[in-house]
Amino acid sequence: MKKKILLILLIITASLFFILEITGWYLGNYNSGAKTVKENTANQKKSSKPKKAKNVSLEDRLRALSPKGLYIVINTSGNRLYLKKGENTILEAVVSCGSGNILTEPSGKKRTWVFDSPRGEYSIKSKIVNPIWVKPDWAFIEEGEEIPQKTEDRMESGMLGDYGLAFGDGYLIHGTLYTRLLGRNVSHGCVRVGDKDLEAVYKQTPIGTKVILF
């Protein structure tokens, strides 16, 4: 009988000891976890401050890179022209940029042309009223016509609208007969603009105005 009582007491004591051990282990881990969460939260708050400062610094640098005066920005894939002064947009126009189509000469030299608008930074080189289009070889090949030898046989008026702004490498910002196609990539590389917007751009931009295409 005494042995049974002693055995029961030992079991109870061992059980209590085990329960106390488990409780101590749980409380220790809980406190450690709570501390870690607090530390992580504090670290996140600290780390967010340098990120915000870095973003502000980057925005300041981008603003510094923007031209201060009047300039033109052309989104060639979105077919939009923006006349801007500093960070302000003076005019937004729907335009038509290069189609990206490829034309290969069927015979002879087998030359190839890619009708894409250029990308990069340019400037207005010259301004023309009632520009006359001197049709290049590809224009005749595209239409299935014989390439003329005389320059006067290449000249065609009325195709480029009332105004032209040349910005280098043979590319122009000019008018179009096909206003219904504005907003689409259908040109041979030049930037086609509607009459009213073209007149506004022509009158407000002096020679030397930056033209940024992307």
Give the model confidence (pLDDT) of 144-173 as tens digits: 999 999 999 999 999 999 999 999 999 999
Of 65, 90, 109, at which residue does a domain stop? 65
Please provide the DSSP assignment of 40-58 as one string.
HHHHHHHHHHHHHHHHHHH
- How confident is the model over 169-181, as pLDDT tens digits? 999 999 999 999 9
CA–CA separation, 107 vs 49, rounded Å? 65
Look at residues 65, 80, 108 and tell me which one is the last residue of a structural domain.
Answer: 65
Residues 2 and 26 in one domain: yes
In the chain, the DSSP E strands lie at: 70-75, 80-85, 88-96, 101-104, 112-115, 120-123, 126-129, 132-134, 155-157, 163-168, 171-174, 191-193, 210-213
Q: Is the whole-model pTM more than 0.85?
A: no
The chain-wide mean pLDDT, for the chain, equals 82
Above 80 in pLDDT, residue 56?
no
Helix%, strand%, coil% for the chain, nearest 5: 40, 30, 30
Q: Are residues 45 and 18 in the same domain?
A: yes
| Rounded alpha-carbon distances, angstroms, from residue 5 to 9, 13, 19, 207 | 6, 12, 21, 109
Per-residue confidence (pLDDT) for residue 155, from 0 to 100: 97
Domain extent at residue 12: 1-65
- pLDDT for 108: 83
93 shares a domain with 61: no
CA atoms of 23 and 91, how far apart (whole Å):
72
Band (67; pLDDT cuts 50, 70, 90): confident
Q: Are residues 95 and 56 in the same domain?
A: no
Instruction: Indicate if 82 and 31 belong to the same structural domain.
Output: no
Listed residues 48, 65, 82: the one ending a domain: 65
For residues 178 and 119, state if they share a domain. yes
Do 185 and 132 have their domain in common? yes
pLDDT tens for residues 72-93?
999 999 999 999 999 999 999 9
- Into how many domains does the chain fold? 2
CA terminus-to-terminus distance, the chain: 97
